[in-house]
Amino acid sequence: MRSVKYSGAGAASEVIALDDVAAPEPGEGEVLVKVGAVGLNPVDVKIRAAAHDFGVIRYSDRPGWDVAGVVAAVGPGVQRWAEGDRVFALAAFPDAAHTLAEYAVVADADLAAVPDAWSTAEAGAAPLAALTAWQALEAAGVREGQRVLVLGAAGGVGHLAVQLAHARGAKVVATASPAKHDLVRDWGAAEVVDYRDDEALAAVEPVDAVIITVDDTLPPRQAVVDGTAVITITGLTEEVAQRLGSWGASPVSRILVKADGAQLARIAELADGGDVVVHLDSRFGLDELARAQERVESGRVTGKVVVIVVPEV
Ligand SMILES: NC(=O)c1ccc[n+]([C@@H]2O[C@H](COP(=O)([O-])OP(=O)(O)OC[C@H]3O[C@@H](n4cnc5c(N)ncnc54)[C@H](OP(=O)(O)O)[C@@H]3O)[C@@H](O)[C@H]2O)c1
């Protein structure tokens, strides 16, 4: 089967290659997936450039974490899937997985059934970003009737955070550049603010929760009041945490997404209910992975970048 292999640290155009290797075999509790589509995330490109672990996030020269496809075989002890089932997953994260290949082995516990409402490309693009959004909203305790500010609403995580918060019955306030405001409203935001417009940012009224998806970005001061939960998926220094705490924010925390097939199944239910769409910024073939990663590296992605591995899946 065709599989991606990195040759070391460096630029996408220099270190990404395809080679031919034997397809893996599923072990106990594992499923062999014929891979249709794989989403790309900033962590894929950051870890490729560095070629070493980032804390608990494992580097592998055979990369890929997101996946959607069909079950090709099941290992011993796997009861709930049969050959041909449409499945998707965030595989193993933050451990290494190897989904950028024509076949991938995925733990049963990481898998969920692809919602009927989503294409294979949409399902492959979603898992890491959708689970991050879900787990951030859980950490913030977002519930019906609350006001939630999503900083970076047009990106992979942000566009799903807007929709999942809206699906919980929250009123979503979002930041995005003006060209993306209509889309962000379509995803369910009640208010959209240009992140470069200081006056508009200063007019955002207090919120119950803030989800930060953009590096080095803080919510506007007046939006944070006693008890505002601030959850970031980017870096959080002790100094920034203390400053947010001095504004009254509580809790203040950084989360790292974890693979979770059960949560993915709940997101799939919302998708089938029409509450969550995956916006595809762009699609690339497996042999165009370097260009796909460069698109993610641009930082300008709207929604998700997806790699189509076996087109007929
Ligand atoms: N902790 C975790 O578990 C976890 C999980 C997933 C992602 N992450 C991290 O979270 C970050 C976001 O991930 P992602 O996949 O959502 O990234 P992404 O899809 O690459 O985000 C790109 C989007 O960010 C927008 N943006 C850039 N600067 C902005 C600003 N100052 N204010 C508002 N929007 C801005 C861009 O809009 P414009 O083009 O209009 O500027 C673009 O639409 C990355 O650093 C990633 O590594 C962490």
Give pLDDT tens digits for 30-55.
999 999 999 999 999 999 999 999 99
pLDDT for residue 155: 98
pLDDT for residue 96: 97
pLDDT for residue 65: 98
**Pocket probe mutation, ligand 1, options 157, 180, 212, 306, max atoms within 8 Å of Cβ:** 157
**Over residues 165-177, mean pLDDT:** 98
122: DSSP letter: H
**Over residues 150-178, mean pLDDT:** 98
**Over residues 211-215, mean pLDDT:** 97
**Domains of the chain: which residue ranges?**
2-126+278-308, 130-254
Summarised one tens digit per residue, pLDDT across range 266-294 is 999 999 999 999 999 999 999 999 999 99
How large is the angle between the packed helices 261-272 and 127-140, nearest 10 degrees? 100
Indicate which residue's Cα is closest to atom 44 of ligand 1.
42
Ligand 1 atom with minimal separation from the 43 CA: 47
256 lines ligand 1 (CB under 6 A): yes
Q: Residue 70 and residue 77: Cα distance in Å, rounded?
A: 18
In single-letter form, the type of residue at position 186 comes to D
pLDDT for residue 244: 98
Q: Residue 187 and residue 16: Cα distance in Å, rounded?
A: 34
**Over residues 223-246, mean pLDDT:** 97
pLDDT for residue 116: 98
Which residue in the block uniquely carries the two structure tokens 């029409």? 274
Mean predicted lDDT score pLDDT of the chain: 98
Q: Which CATH superfamily is domain 130-254 in?
A: NAD(P)-binding Rossmann-like Domain (3.40.50.720)
**Pocket probe mutation, ligand 1, options 192, 233, 295, 304, max atoms within 8 Å of Cβ:** 233
- Contact of 302 with 279, CB cutoff 8 Å: yes
127 lines ligand 1 (CB under 6 A): no
**Over residues 178-187, mean pLDDT:** 98
pLDDT for residue 27: 98
Q: Which two tokens stand for residue 24?
A: 């893996």
Q: How far is CA 121 from the centre of its chain?
A: 14
201 lines ligand 1 (CB under 6 A): no
The third-level CATH classification (topology) of the domain covering 2-126+278-308 is Quinone Oxidoreductase; Chain A, domain 1 (3.90.180)
Summarised one tens digit per residue, pLDDT across range 111-160 is 999 999 999 999 999 999 999 999 999 999 999 999 999 999 999 999 99
Instruction: Characterize the bridge pairing of strands 86-90 and 16-20.
Output: unpaired
